[in-house]
Structure 1
Amino acid sequence: MQNHSKPPPLVLPPVPLRVKSTKGSGERLSQTKSMVIPDLDSPQKPINRHRRNQSQHNIAQGVQQIQPVLHGEYLNKAKICDGGRKQRKNWTSAWVVLNSSQLQFYKESKQEVVANLKPGCKPEGVDLCGAIVEWTREKSSRKNVLEIITRSGDEFLLQSDDYPIISKWHDAIKRAVDRLSSGDVGPGGGKATIQRASSSECLPRPAYESTKPKAKEPKSENRRSIIFKLNYSASDSADKSGVKNRLKKFISRRPSMKTLQEKGIIKDRVFGCHMLTLCQREGTTVPRFVQMCIKEVEKRGLDADGIYRVSGNLATIQKLRFIIDQEEELNLDDVQWEDIHVITGALKMFFRELPEPLFPFRFFDQFVEAIKTKEDRQKIQVLKKLVHNLPRPNHNTMKLLFHHLQRVLTKSRQNLMSSQSVSIVFGPTLLWPELDMGNMAVNMVYQNQIVEFMLIECLEIFGPEAK
């Protein structure tokens, strides 16, 4: 038999694998993914799969994500303005997270949000770039209130009863705003850079601009700025009828506010004017309107049922107020002022709208401490001393009013008004604290007690009424 030996196996030369060039990660890959030896030491970057551009461009390196400054905490939040339009203040509890460039508000804590958040649902965010952060007392009666105003015109209030907590948030948000304003932080939290498409060179990005619309600038009332806008308007060429020219002449010849006041066209108000300013303008120590109302009530209203307690028609009261503010001739004997409750309502409105109450702010705590004195004789002496130290317009007006209210009490059987009911009406009307620190109910008790005690001891505190 003939031996047939098997031919040796055919050995193919190894195919050299082309290794990805280390000169730059932006060069095109000439082999398929399976023919490239991966670099196990460096993290793999995704390859652009766009059909028209198969090249992988280098992404800016060195971008470091800044971790949230504060991971989260429950704070009270209210949005009072949306794009420059005011909204009703509605306080809600929110889980607040501060990232490098924005605040985020969640309804629940972060763990609950991750478990319950629906796909596509995003938390409410506040862009801090160009924002203003400051403490505020005017926007809310609550204590420890922080106000945030964004470039888009949104306004948020943050509040916590614990001052160290809200102070910590104030400092952290302030630092984030300052860092963003300096241009050192981009939208992603790192150094903002731009890369050319054809090279790996990184260029510094201009100052980060938010895609949100900027807040509208307040309209200037300066006459010169209005004329400037009219002069350089782009539509001047289309002004064939000369409307803008006539408008510019009218504005340039318009008299100033001071001239209008000197001619008596624009008059200073009576309601809402400071007591001292009003008395200096009228040359008296008791405002004329107060004297007029008290005289009319004593003339025909001491016997009226529920005097000062019953409210008059608000529209008629506002009409009376308008006449007084315009310093027009006023005759309270006119038939349109026949309802005595309209006059008492206007008098109470005058005291309520004072920028500083009849009992000045700096005396409020002293009156409260005085009314806490247990011994009546000592209490009278302390209150008498406080009243004596009041500014003269406040002292004389208070003396006239309390003597008048005491005469109202002499007719208590007819008008059914007791010292307690009068103090309930005039307590919050004549004195209130400058800053309400959440003790409204307690303050109201002291307000009523002060007025009632001074009303009962009117002669001892103020002395006899001047003839």
Structure 2
Amino acid sequence: MRVKSPNSPHERLSQSKSMVIIDPAELTKQINRHRRNHSQHYGSENRISKDILVSQTKEGILYKTKIADKGKKLRKNWAPAYVVLSDQTLEFYKDAKDLTASVKSGTKSECVDLCGALIEWTSERSSRKNVFQITTLSGNEILLQSDVDITIKEWFHAIRSAIDSLEGWHPNPSLSFSVRKSASSELLHHVADSKEKKSELRKSGVFKLNYSASDTSDRNRVKTRLKKFISRRPSLKTLQEKGIIKDQVFGCHLATLCKRENTTIPHFVSTCIEAVEKRGLNVDGLYRVSGNLSTIQKLRFIVNQEEKLNLDDSQWEDIHVVTGALKMFFRELPEPLFPRRLFEQFVEAIRIQDRDLQLKTMRDLIKQLPLPNRDTMKVLFEHLKKVLISSSTNRMSTQSLGIVFGPTLLRPMNESGSMAVCMVYQSQIVELMIAEFENIFC
């Protein structure tokens, strides 16, 4: 149907039966109907089809990490970002100042094209709360997060609205749809197809990457070589016999270590205690002050390699390195010096008000311990008693030693309870063992 008057845009647009809501400002614009300006008219329609998209402008700070770049997985690295949402893109800046500087200098920021993108809430990709994922057509995957529930929900709905408004539109004019053809079945058919494809992508949750036959062959070759290597690898016993793998001291069960050394007290424990009593009882903050961690790890490596250890060497001159290594040894025991199965019984004993009954209960519990645990415990608390005697110079009271050694020597069977209450009982048990050493072990 030919338009009667070129000055009646309302009449012309009504004939198109467009399903898209038109901006009223566009309705007042003159459109040239002359056949000679057909190409100009077509370009104007493309511009209109772009301008009628729902305007989405939002900016603010969110936590952001990129987990995939064009299908290639990336390591999560959460960082705050100043996010700007426009009609078609999502841009990321360091902060608002970076945004201003980018506008002035004309530099490009990190930008995500929302055309054809998918957005969904996810709890599997991160342990953080309030996380949603944006997946683009190019295979980029971005996670956005905020601790404020209202803020993250507003962002989610704003981005989803922007994505929905871009459905069926493409920045390439040859692929876009003009208002002139909006009434045709071609538009309806294309919208239906795009919705169907988008639904399929949502169901799959991922973009499938196409691999060539050569890639498949390479993967099969690598798998075959790995299977051969694994089948031919030597056993643990063979590696130990050849000396390639040696039995560890740190992290080894106390009974296993004592059996290997044919003793009831680990040699490393006896050596450390001897060194501390020889030259460290009067050092300020003994066992409380931390030694150099790298030096402690070096000492640990030498001990695990069963190399000859001489703590009188100048490299172990700092006594805090020796005490730090001793605490690390007890901390890394798979089963604590006070066995987990008896933890609750030791707690019940420390809560007894009658002193004599309390000491008797402690002695009975000590007798139930395996011999390596009992003998090592006796040597350790005898040593800590000597540390307490020199408290005037090293400033280590019974309470200080209890705080240091409580969590190291005692650990509950179930650690889901109150940590503060547990630490109180741990410290009190160690304090009692030091203060009443003679009555409990002798």
TM range (shorter): 0.5 to 0.7
User: Is the alpha carbon distance of 1:271 and 1:122 closer, same or farther for their aligned partners in structure 2, counting shifts above 3 Å?
Assistant: farther
- Aligned mate of 1:443, from 418, 422, 425: 422
State the partner residue of 2:246: 267
> Is 2:221 the partner of 1:233?
yes
User: Is the alpha carbon distance of 1:283 and 1:406 closer, same or farther for their aligned partners in structure 2, counting shifts above 3 Å?
Assistant: same
Aligned-pair CA distance for 1:295: 1.0
State the partner residue of 1:153: none
Aligned-pair CA distance for 1:257: 2.6
Aligned-pair CA distance for 1:365: 1.0
State the partner residue of 1:167: none
* Amino acid in structure 1 at the alignment position of 2:400: S
State the partner residue of 1:417: 396
For 1:304 and 1:278, the matched residues in 2 are separated by: 30
Q: Deviations over 1:306-338 (max 9, x none)?
A: 211111111111100000011111111111111
State the partner residue of 1:147: none
Report how many residues are paired: 275
User: Is the alpha carbon distance of 1:248 and 1:304 closer, same or farther for their aligned partners in structure 2, counting shifts above 3 Å?
Assistant: same
Aligned-pair CA distance for 1:211: 3.4
State the partner residue of 2:379: 400
1:95–1:107: 8 Å Cα contact kept in structure 2?
no
Aligned-pair CA distance for 1:292: 0.8
* Amino acid in structure 2 at the alignment position of 1:211: V
State the partner residue of 1:348: 327
1:275–1:393: 8 Å Cα contact kept in structure 2?
yes
* Amino acid in structure 2 at the alignment position of 1:442: V
Q: Deviations over 1:352-407 (max 9, x none)?
A: 11112111111111111111111111111111111111111111111110011001
State the partner residue of 1:211: 206
Aligned-pair CA distance for 1:233: 2.0
Q: How does 1:151-162 map to 2 (within 5 A)?
A: none
> Is 2:158 the partner of 1:118?
yes
* Amino acid in structure 2 at the alignment position of 1:291: S
State the partner residue of 1:322: 301
Structure 1 runs not aligned, ≥5 long: 1-78, 97-104, 124-204, 215-228, 237-243
- Aligned mate of 1:288, from 267, 274, 277: 267
Q: Deviations over 1:202-248 (max 9, x none)?
A: xxx9xx8653579xxxxxxxxxxxxxx99962899xxxxxxx8xx99
1:324–1:330: 8 Å Cα contact kept in structure 2?
yes
Q: Does the residue aligned with 1:359 lie in a helix, a strand or coil?
A: coil
- Aligned mate of 1:427, from 386, 401, 406: 406
State the partner residue of 1:199: none
User: Is the alpha carbon distance of 1:121 and 1:338 closer, same or farther for their aligned partners in structure 2, counting shifts above 3 Å?
Assistant: farther
For 1:370 and 1:235, the matched residues in 2 are separated by: 58
Q: Does the residue aligned with 2:256 lie in a helix, a strand or coil?
A: helix
Give the TM-score normalised by the residue count of structure 1: 0.51
Q: Deviations over 1:158-211 (max 9, x none)?
A: xxxxxxxxxxxxxxxxxxxxxxxxxxxxxxxxxxxxxxxxxxxxxxx9xx8653
Q: Deviations over 1:275-325 (max 9, x none)?
A: 122112222111111111011111111121221111111111110000001
* Amino acid in structure 2 at the alignment position of 1:333: D
* Amino acid in structure 1 at the alignment position of 2:281: L
Structure 2 runs not aligned, ≥5 long: 1-64, 79-124, 133-144, 164-199, 210-216
* Amino acid in structure 2 at the alignment position of 1:120: R
Q: Deviations over 1:142-164 (max 9, x none)?
A: xxxxxxxxxxxxxxxxxxxxxxx
Q: Does the residue aligned with 1:118 lie in a helix, a strand or coil?
A: helix
For 2:405 and 2:277, the matched residues in 1 are separated by: 17
- Aligned mate of 1:459, from 418, 432, 438: 438
RMSD between aligned alpha carbons?
Answer: 4.3
Give the TM-score normalised by the residue count of structure 2: 0.53
For 2:222 and 2:263, the matched residues in 1 are separated by: 55
For 2:362 and 2:162, the matched residues in 1 are separated by: 60
For 1:357 and 1:122, the matched residues in 2 are separated by: 57
Q: Percent identity over the alignment?
A: 55
For 1:342 and 1:446, the matched residues in 2 are separated by: 28
Q: Does the residue aligned with 2:160 lie in a helix, a strand or coil?
A: coil
Q: Does the residue aligned with 1:331 lie in a helix, a strand or coil?
A: coil
User: Is the alpha carbon distance of 1:268 and 1:87 closer, same or farther for their aligned partners in structure 2, counting shifts above 3 Å?
Assistant: farther
Aligned-pair CA distance for 1:117: 2.4
For 1:108 and 1:210, the matched residues in 2 are separated by: 26
Aligned-pair CA distance for 1:266: 1.1
State the partner residue of 1:136: none
For 1:267 and 1:312, the matched residues in 2 are separated by: 27
User: Is the alpha carbon distance of 1:371 and 1:91 closer, same or farther for their aligned partners in structure 2, counting shifts above 3 Å?
Assistant: farther
For 2:223 and 2:128, the matched residues in 1 are separated by: 48
For 1:286 and 1:317, the matched residues in 2 are separated by: 21
For 1:86 and 1:395, the matched residues in 2 are separated by: 47
Q: Does the residue aligned with 1:266 lie in a helix, a strand or coil?
A: coil
> Is 2:363 the partner of 1:384?
yes
For 2:351 and 2:220, the matched residues in 1 are separated by: 67
For 2:265 and 2:413, the matched residues in 1 are separated by: 23
1:95–1:108: 8 Å Cα contact kept in structure 2?
no
* Amino acid in structure 2 at the alignment position of 1:233: R
